[in-house]
Amino acid sequence: EDQVTQSPEALRLQEGESSSLNCSYTVSGLRGLFWYRQDPGKGPEFLFTLYSAGEEKEKERLKATLTKKESFLHITAPKPEDSATYLCAVQAGDYKLSFGAGTTVTVRA
Amino acid sequence: DGGITQSPKYLFRKEGQNVTLSCEQNLNHDAMYWYRQDPGQGLRLIYYSQIVNDFQKGDIAEGYSVSREKKESFPLTVTSAQKNPTAFYLCASSHPSGPSREKLFFGSGTQLSVL
């Protein structure tokens, strides 16, 4: 059974204080790893897809990396508007996604 | 402006009552999904449909039903058989083929609570 574990559950940062979120996974035949951002009371918004170990993707202050066992989402010099819950999901075999529980990031000004 | 519309935003269910959550998309996507989100848990797949008039059970289909009579619409009915329906329900869609097939587009969700 595919498993996705995100850590930490919650992260409180000062504005400008860089940090990383972890997504570890157990899956047979990874087809893709996905990062989504979710604001309170809203649906998730797509950020990145990573397909193979060593791959990196960037968007503004966010950078996602992938190894054979885990993915990191690095937040560089975060701003209060980066506060959200970040979800990780993996896809193996068919097109169904397995989601982690998420990391809730709070950035204080 | 293309997207996915879920309604209502908030819904209350009485004991023994069936309720239906609406999901409409104008993205011309073939595939549509329903997920359930509970605090502290990952999104769990309820039902999915890759094409009109066809749908499959996800991981937690018991107590739920769906229909896919039109490409744009994928309503979810929470039946009285679902004993713990309180959750945030998310509808999503995607292209089933091509480079964007795994990218899910989500609606803004429906919060269902039991009275």
Provide block-wise average pLDDT over 10 residues at a time, chain B (115 residues).
90 93 95 94 94 95 97 97 94 77 89 92
Half-sphere exposure of B99 (CA within 13 A, CB side): 1
8 Å CB contact between A62 and A47: yes
pLDDT digits (tens, 9 = 90+) for A69-95: 999 999 999 999 999 999 999 988 766
| pLDDT exceeds cutoff 80 at A103 | yes
Would you call A81 helix, strand, or coil by DSSP?
Answer: helix
The Cα–Cα gap between A52 and A72 comes to 13
Nearest CA in chain B to A86: B42
Q: What is the pLDDT of residue A34?
A: 95
Chain B contact for A40 (CB, 8 A cutoff):
no
Mean pLDDT of chain A: 94
Q: Considering only CB atoms, which chain A residues are within 8 Å of B30? A: none
pLDDT digits (tens, 9 = 90+) for A30-61: 889 999 999 999 999 999 999 999 999 999 99
Nearest CA in chain B to A100: B42
The one-letter amino acid code at B106 reads F
Chain B contact for A12 (CB, 8 A cutoff):
no
Of A41, A89, A102, the CB nearest to B109: A41
Q: What is the pLDDT of residue A27?
A: 87
| pLDDT exceeds cutoff 60 at A3 | yes
8 Å CB contact between A17 and A83: no
